[in-house]
Amino acid sequence: MTQVSNTIMIHAPADAIWRLISDFGAAGQYLPGIVTCTVEGKGAGARRILTGFDGSMIVEQLETVNHAAHRLSYSLLTDTPFLDCLTTMTVRDLGSYQAELTWSATFETDGLPESEAVDLLEGALVANCLALKQFIEADR
């Protein structure tokens, strides 16, 4: 398995960040390029469908939610170059109105050299973290 991750500091309480990301359907509010997010089901096993500006769709399934640890994991169900892709988001309270978000993924590659797959997914995680940070900090 290959692993990639990105960590970013956000100037907001960890609980506020967690409330947003633990709402599996809220991803459409902060993910770049997403125009709609619909959720089917509740809790572990729920699926969300993210639709991009270009009409492309990404389907993800919520795997685990740990409210005490501020951590959730979801799997990518859409056919992509990433097989068995499990993504995890963790929020850590740093005090003084600051928190750390770590967004990581483990996967196997399919159809791309591993280095290209790593670059592609790392780039997406960086963009997603920055978008979430900007969304939350703009709401202060």
pTM as predicted? 0.93
Do 28 and 35 touch, CB atoms closer than 8 A?
yes
- Distance from C-alpha of 49 to C-alpha of 58, rounded to nearest angstrom: 6
Task: Give the separation between CA 85 and CA 108, rounded to whole angstroms.
Answer: 7
The conformation of residue 69, written as its DSSP 8-state character, comes to T
Q: What is the mean pLDDT of residues 30-49?
A: 95
Token pair in block for residue 118: 């790593």
| pLDDT at position 111 over 90 | no
Give the start-to-end residue ranges of the domains of the chain.
Answer: 2-138
pLDDT score of 110 more than 90: no
pLDDT of residue 106: 97
Domain spanning 2-138, CATH architecture: 2-Layer Sandwich (3.30)
Would you say the C-alpha torsion 52, 58, 62, 66 has a positive or negative sign? negative
